[in-house]
Amino acid sequence: MSYYNTNKETGTALANSKRRATSQEEIIMGLFRDGDLLSPDEVLNICNEEKSYLLTSIRRALTNLTTKGLLVKNDVFKIGRYGKKTHTWSLSKEETK
């Protein structure tokens, strides 16, 4: 889990933010278990059915999970919320075994 404390939180606020980041990454990993290719916008839409997340938080989580080798960024694009092409992510080969 990586929480980037750019706003200099301390104490309980920092602990809560770190816990939410970990929980968010676990939730996002669960979305990819069916082998789908998902864009950050699609992940946001699915997650926001249950909780309220920011797109920047979704992108942070995707980056962290990619760095850990759990997800891979694909060269397959989907049209995002602003009409621009966005990359998709999927489970890494190791995670699909």
Distance of CA 96 to the CA centre of its chain: 18
pLDDT at 18: 57
- Distance of alpha carbon 24 from alpha carbon 20, whole angstroms: 6
Region of poorest pLDDT, from 6-10, 45-49, 74-78: 6-10
pLDDT at 81: 87
Cα separation values, 63 from 10, 66, 73, Å: 24, 5, 9
Q: Where are the domains of the chain?
A: 11-91
Fold of 11-91: Arc Repressor Mutant, subunit A (1.10.10)
Is 28 in contact with 43 (CB distance < 8 Å)? Answer: yes
**Which of 13-17, 23-27, 67-71 tops mean pLDDT?**
67-71
The first and second tokens of residue 4, run together, are 């980037």
Q: Say whether pTM exceeds 0.85.
A: no
